[in-house]
A and B are shown apart, each in its own frame.
Chain A
């Protein structure tokens, strides 16, 4: 999950090298036996992953080129005639482009905000103080708690009738009316005389995303910061560098590989996010991201073909983004120590 490209495998392989040095027939049979045994040990995992992950992904390609609906499943069987209709339907519907734009916006803001907050948290908790262990552990709660429970609490807190946020907003902050955070598409707000339409529901969902996933960034950045060598910073301190200078020129450059890796991971996960948005808004009020659209096509419309086509396009767009990233920004973790 963390460092996929980490050069793990060379430290292993106990038997073969020294056995091979002695040469002879027996050495090869030990290596062969190990190889056979290794494959045997992995077989159950491989089988389950192939059946439940690889085959379905391949099958999605077939489904995407068929005119198949949920009600047809029992009668028609699974394989039908080849058609391109699903793709033309998906790509030409205005909902698709809106959903794609929402997805990209949501992913970029969610990624940047969660890493930013995670970094601030990791830095603030860097030096020990009484109760730091407890604070650290509570920082992780949003990430480990069940998504259904926390979305329900957020819904209730943001409720316009009896939610605490609107209660505080109207009584203490002087809001004129309660705000329906999760069902209002936009709210005109005047900033220095200019009227701006604020996408309320989308911002609320982004705020939730940041709240739920900053612990992820916090966790990895804390681990990285704890492993930083102290002498560089000490040297900078002796040279009279201030706090911000030490961060900008000494600490942050060392965190950069971790930040880059987090950016990739968070972007992928946020781009694919379904639960949070479905549970908070159901995709209403301008928050329909692509994965929620796939779900709607599948269950509300029962259109398997279109749902598959939409899901494939989603995966494809993600792959294009990642390819662009690796092409222009470079790999997040090289083989540096």
Chain B
């Protein structure tokens, strides 16, 4: 495969290619990996995007036509009644996704509000103030993510059943806030630490109290992080499934979109194309948010990862 040329000569040859280069190991590898790179990119793009494309296409095809030609990758028919049918209330013969969408939106927005209300002061405290128990608190928050959610699910299920909060959005809200606050504090803390302390010291010398410093200096500077964090929390709450299933499954008017779709997916009477329309409605807000805030989100999530 390789004609034995000293590897040393291969590197300078790259900049000015002579008419006939020997097949050195370097040249072979450059060719192979150059091709392989595009192959990997192409396969990954197809594999990641195909399910989403398929979801959209199937949501506008007619079911009988899907069954007849399952391999078709573009809509032979164009049928938007699936969306009408999935959105309409169950009295009108639909699946009532309007209500589910409203439930999901309400609970996700409330989760964002309460999480940020708790996380902004908390993150500030952990990044700026020296107090007893600070390190322990950080460790405790980390531990939240190590325990299986299903471990929490059992006692919470028992507790909410006992106090009659099962089936209410309020109970779910409390659980979501508890699940998202630690991550939120972690992301915001990283950001607060990049804000120069000297700005706050200057304000303190001018007589500003800690509250004023947070409100007037730290918070405005951390706004990009707060926004991206809020979006991230929204996504988590919107996508969440296990606790919604445990707490709300028996109470159809309270179903979230995720829960509604999963509960209806098993039924034979509802056409798959209609449920695909439901999937699109469930996914679309997340994709829109994601593309709006992709850079912010990625930076917020991986800040600190560069350190290795």
Contacts and interface: CB of A to CB of B under 8 A. Distances in A.
B41 to A, nearest CB: 5
B124 A41 contact: yes
Given A1-B186, A34-B130, A41-B125, A258 B308 contact: yes
Interface stretch (B85-93, B193-201, B220-228): B193-201
B162 interface: yes
B86 to A, nearest CB: 13
Interface string B147-177: 1111111111111011000000000001101
Interface in A209-240: 211, 215, 219-220, 223-224, 226-227, 237-240
B290 A144 contact: yes
Interface string B266-308: 0000001001100110110011001100100010011111111
B287 A141 contact: yes
Main secondary structure of the interface of B (DSSP, over half): helix
A44 B118 contact: yes
Contact of A124 (B44, B67, B197): B44
A195 interface: no
Contacts of B179: 52
A58 B262 CA distance: 31
B181 interface: yes
Interface residues of B, number: 121
B33 A274 contact: no
Interface string A114-154: 00010011011100000000010111111011111110111
A320 interface: no
Nearest to B258: A148
Contacts of A9: 134-135
B10 A240 contact: yes
Given A49-B141, A141-B287, A148 B153 contact: no
Contact of B66 (A38, A162, A211): A162
B208 interface: no
Interface stretch (A11-19, A89-97, A183-191, A323-331): A11-19
B122 A298 contact: no
Interface string A36-54: 1111011011101101111
A291 B150 contact: yes
A174 to B, nearest CB: 14
Contact of A137 (B10, B151, B291): B291
A307 B157 CA distance: 11
B158 A78 contact: yes
Contacts of A279: 241, 262
Contact of A31 (B47, B130, B186): B130
B148 A311 contact: yes
B178 A52 contact: yes
Most buried by B among A11, A37, A135, A166: A37
B121 interface: yes
9 contacts: A15-B130, A41-B124, A48-B181, A52-B179, A53-B147, A139-B44, A142-B48, A144-B287, A145-B283
Given A6-B307, A38-B131, A146-B283, 15 more contacts: A1-B145, A12-B193, A41-B121, A52-B179, A54-B140, A120-B40, A137-B294, A138-B45, A139-B48, A146-B257, A149-B258, A150-B283, A279-B262, A311-B150, A311-B154
